[in-house]
Chains A and B, each alone.
Chain A
Amino acid sequence: MAVTTTEPAAPARSGRGSILARSSGLRTGLLLLPPMLWLGVAYLAALAALFITSLWGQDDFTGAIVRVWTLQNYHDLVHIPVYRTIAFRTIGIAALVTVVDAVVAFPIALFMAKVASPRVRRLLVIAVLMPLWASYLVKAYAWRGMFSEGGLIDWVGKPVGLHSPGYGLVATTITLAYLWLPYMILPIFAGLERVPSSLFEASGDLGAGALTTIRRVVLPMAFPAIVAGSIFTFSLSLGDYIAVQIVGGASQLLGNVVYANVGSANNLPFASALATVPVVVMLVYLAAARRTGALENL
Chain B
Amino acid sequence: MIISPRLEAVLRVLTALVVVVVYVPLLLVMVNSFNVDRTFGWPPRGLTLHWWNVAFHSSGARHALLVSLEVASLATVVSLVLGTCAALALRRTRFFGRNTVSLLIILPIALPGIVTGIALNNAFRTMLGLQLGFLTVVVAHATFCIVTVFNNVQARVQRLGTSLEQASADLGAGPFRTFALVTFPNLRSALLAGGLLSFGLSFDEIVVTTFTAGPQTQTLPIWIFQNLFRPNQAPVVNVVAAVLVLSGDTVAPSAATP
Which residues of A are at the interface with B, using a C-beta cutoff of 8 A? 13-14, 16-18, 20-21, 24, 27-29, 31-32, 34-36, 38-40, 42-47, 49-50, 53, 104, 107-108, 110-112, 114-115, 122, 124-139, 141-143, 145-146, 150-152, 155, 178, 181, 197, 200-201, 204, 209-211, 213-214, 231-232, 235-236, 238-242, 255, 258-259, 262, 268, 271-272, 275, 278-279, 282, 286, 290, 295, 298
Point out which of B95, B114, B140, B221 has the most chain A C-beta atoms below 10 A from its C-beta.
Answer: B114
Q: How far is the CA of A16 from the CA of B175 in the complex (A)?
A: 9
Known contacts A138-B241, A295-B102, A295-B106; is A133 also within 8 Å of B247 by CB? Answer: yes
Known contacts A50-B119, A298-B151; is A178 also within 8 Å of B244 by CB? Answer: no
Contacts of A145 in B (CB 8 A): 28, 32, 40, 42
Q: State whether B111 touches A279 (Cβ < 8 A).
A: yes
| A142 (CB) vs chain B CBs: closest residue | B25
Q: Write 25 A-B pairs (CB below 8 A) sorted by A numbering.
A: A27-B175, A31-B88, A35-B82, A40-B104, A42-B139, A42-B143, A43-B120, A47-B119, A49-B119, A50-B122, A111-B11, A115-B12, A122-B253, A129-B252, A129-B255, A131-B26, A134-B241, A134-B245, A145-B42, A146-B25, A210-B7, A239-B112, A262-B211, A290-B99, A298-B151
Cβ distance A29 to chain B, nearest Cβ, rounded Å: 8
Q: A134-B29, A142-B25 are in contact. List 8 more A-B contacts (CB 8 A).
A: A39-B107, A42-B123, A126-B249, A133-B245, A138-B29, A146-B24, A235-B111, A239-B115
Q: State whether B244 touches A133 (Cβ < 8 A).
A: yes
Total number of residue pairs linking A and B with CB closer than 8 Å: 279
Q: How far is the CA of A136 from the CA of B206 in the complex (A)?
A: 8
Cβ distance A58 to chain B, nearest Cβ, rounded Å: 13
The yes or no answer to B169 lying at the interface (CB within 8 A) is yes
Q: How far is the CA of A268 from the CA of B142 in the complex (A)?
A: 25
Q: State whether B174 touches A104 (Cβ < 8 A).
A: no
Contact of B175 among A20, A133, A282 (CB under 8 A): A20
Q: How far is the CA of A107 from the CA of B3 in the complex (A)?
A: 13
Q: State whether A50 touches B43 (Cβ < 8 A).
A: no
Contacts of A129 in B (CB 8 A): 248, 252, 255-256
The yes or no answer to B184 lying at the interface (CB within 8 A) is no
- What mask results when residues 204 to 229 of chain B are scored 1 for a CB within 8 Å of chain A, else 0? 10110001000000001100110010
Q: How far is the CA of A38 from the CA of B85 in the complex (A)?
A: 12
Q: State whether A34 touches B81 (Cβ < 8 A).
A: yes
Q: State whether B25 touches A24 (Cβ < 8 A).
A: no
List of 10 A-B pairs having minimum Cβ-Cβ separation, nearest first: A239-B112, A133-B248, A46-B123, A31-B89, A138-B241, A200-B2, A142-B25, A46-B119, A17-B174, A35-B82
Q: How far is the CA of A94 from the CA of B31 in the complex (A)?
A: 31
Point out which of A34, A134, A231, A241 has the most chain B C-beta atoms below 10 A from its C-beta.
Answer: A134
Q: State whether B28 touches A18 (Cβ < 8 A).
A: no
Contacts of A152 in B (CB 8 A): 24, 28, 42
